[in-house]
Amino acid sequence: MGRVAGVTAAETRERLLRAAADAFAARGYDGTRVADIAAAAGVSNGALYAHFGSKAELLVAALRAHARRVLADLVDAEPERSLADLLLIAGRCLPRPRDTRGDLIVEALAAARRDGDVAKPMRDYVGERVDGVADLLRAPRGGGELDPTLSPRALSYLCFLLAVGSALVPPDLLAVDEEEWAALLARLASAVVAPAESAPDESAPDDAAPTQSTLTDGTPKTGDTQ
């Protein structure tokens, strides 16, 4: 069984990626055979290897194609939303049930700990994910941008850890009150957003008296207000 008649190479590749994502998420990396993925996609093993050089390469390719990217997708869908809003919306999605492909990242990370063939492409993948979201966090959004004293990459890394943790501990294992979770997220989001600049007080005269200042020895300067 080779390539299905009337199906393009790109369509065959997409079939393989979908079949791989479902299989790896359901049975794990070690429990999934290449032959099972090929059969689910309706192609031969040879056709699979024409697109992917190894099972490890197929795993990471499936992750790139079908992993959940809540924050990145929100940025694309809601370009006018403030950063605080985006973080809050993405965070509220984390404890909610998801399809089985949401477990793919957990299986891939677990495989990377055991298998050196998986570890290297997974390092590349995680770096791409963290750096990609960091770039989104750096982009101007017309208000409510990231506090310049914070590292976009560090915040992106935190978001990635939260996403992985939510996949590892789904709501059927441990549920959290949605209102309490939302209140916590709102506090965290407000902490990472740049503080609004205070508007100048137009009622104050331009030559308003300065506040008390001191000389280097701590003595008040002559003429300063007390």
Q: What is the pLDDT of residue 82?
A: 86
Q: What is the pLDDT of residue 214?
A: 39
CA distances from 99 to 25, 68, 73, 102, 129 (A): 10, 10, 17, 6, 20
pLDDT, tens digit (0-9, with 9 covering 90-100), for 9-37: 999 999 999 999 999 988 999 999 999 99
According to DSSP H, which parts of the chain are helical? 9-27, 34-41, 45-51, 55-66, 70-77, 83-93, 104-114, 116-138, 152-168, 178-192
Are the C-beta atoms of 97 and 35 separated by less than 8 Å?
no
Residues of the chain with pLDDT below 70 are 1-6, 142-143, 196-226
Q: What is the pLDDT of residue 196?
A: 64
Q: What is the pLDDT of residue 117?
A: 94
Distance (Å, rounded) from C-alpha 71 to C-alpha 73? 5
Angle formed by the axes of helices 9-27 and 55-66, to 10°?
100
Q: What is the pLDDT of residue 5?
A: 55
Residue 193: strand, helix, or coil:
strand
For the chain, give the longest Cα–Cα distance: 94
CA distances from 94 to 17, 27, 52, 53 (A): 24, 23, 31, 33
